[in-house]
Structure 1
């Protein structure tokens, strides 16, 4: 039960698109997240492959993310708000043995069953100040952080950030109720907490001050 629920959790808000694991034209692959650490495995494999040799270099550098990406405004203040991950299934979820694990209409909170160890940092890759902020922040050095872009050229951003780049599509933005970027998302008990970060104008560093509520 716990394993299957963990799979559902990952499927709900980690269906991230990356230049490493996204179909680009007529080549490339799409990976299904099947285990809690699958994203970490994808990242590890990505580090071991020279994708500029495997794929057309121009395709990679010009990749702009999924077509349903959502442009979000820059955060105007420091604030945090909770996101309830309770989910109601829209179809019968099979158990892989010919039966039904969760029937259509079943409601549950995946975070009641599993702990999500990653911290998600979401930025707009078309904003140089946000890219600069991430590159200079503690998040760029942490192995437990996954960077998601709401937009921006893979080639341009990868020149500033030496780690795998992933893209947040509309489903991710809506599921996490993202409203502005940069945003930092982490689990807090039974909810996911989204923290918006206001950047100090012109220097790409977090503004100092009291964190506000919504």
Structure 2
């Protein structure tokens, strides 16, 4: 550290006291060795040329068509919910839908309805008018059982596997899909067919064993 300080001090002294020292430091010493121009093409120019070439030979259109087909197939044939199997033994339990509010809830006039941290049961304010029926859409027996037992107005039939779109055309009614297993995970469902039905201010969750082991 002392040596660096002395060197720095000497350099400052030379440039401030002796004008010729500043001139020596600023002098143009010419070119030191051979130099070359930058020959690498601009990255954006290269990308632009590549894209234009792909557009010209139809590669872009083919890629877009392939991506669109893949996206459509994923929508029509969603990945099965992981960890869900067929019922081998019936079971049921009560589910409390109450939630703890993360923030205050106010009406349109700003009046407090419920405050943050308060436990609220949605079924105290609104009623659940339809059952939720979870089935494997690939299983004909489960599909037949659900569609015969519930009408479109009495239940929402939710697939955990299979194509809702294909079954819609076949059964002429609407089906849903449990995307990423959010509903089955929320209710603790591990097997299908399963039903979620209202039971006062709670919900009853039942995993049903079909007659004759049809599932």
Give TM-score, length-normalised by structure 2: 0.55
- Shift in Å at residue 114 of structure 1? 2.6
Query: Which position in structure 1 is the counterpart of 2:184?
Result: 173
In structure 1, the residue matched to 2:76 is 63
Distance in structure 2 (CA, Å) of the matches to 1:68 and 1:103:
39
Partner of residue 164, structure 2: 154
Question: In 1, are the aligned partners of 2:97 and 2:202 still within 8 Å (CA)?
Answer: yes
Higher relative contact order, chain-length normalized (CA < 8 Å, sep 6+): 1
CA contact 1:61–1:155 (8 Å) conserved in 2: no
1:191 to 181, 191, 202: 202
Summarize the Cα distance change of 1:151–1:88 in structure 2 as closer, same or farther, 3 Å threshold: same
Shift of residue 143 of structure 1?
2.0
Secondary structure at the aligned position of 1:59 is classed as: helix
The change in CA–CA distance for 1:101 and 1:175 in structure 2 (over 3 A counts) is farther
Match of 1:128 among 140, 165, 168: 140
Alpha-carbon RMSD: 3.1
**CA separation of 1:68/1:79 partners in 2, compared to 1, >3 Å: closer, same or farther?**
closer
Distance in structure 1 (CA, Å) of the matches to 2:95 and 2:135: 18
- Secondary structure class of the residue paired with 1:164: coil
Bigger Rg, which one: 2
More displaced stretch, 91-100 vs 123-132: 91-100
* Structure 1 CA distance for aligned equivalents of residues 167 and 86 of structure 2: 17
Distance, in Å, in 2 between the alignment partners of 1:138 and 1:96 is: 42
By how many angstroms is 1:60 displaced?
7.7
- CA gap of 1:62–1:182, structure 2 versus 1, over 3 A, is same
Which residue is equivalent to 1:109?
Answer: 121
1:80 shift after superposition: 2.1
TM-score by length of 1: 0.56
- In the alignment of these two chains, the number of paired residues is 145
Distance in 1 (CA, whole Å) between partners of 2:132 and 2:85 is 18
The alpha carbon displacement at 1:70 in A equals 4.5
SS in 2 for 1:123: strand
- Native 8 Å contact 2:142 2:214 kept in 1: no
Q: Which has the higher helix share?
A: 2
C-alpha change, 1:92 and 1:175, in structure 2 (3 Å) is: farther
Mapped contact 1:70–1:173 kept (Cα < 8 A): no
Contact map agreement 2:98 2:120 (CA 8 A) in 1:
yes
Q: Which runs of 5+ in 1 are unaligned?
A: 1-55, 205-214
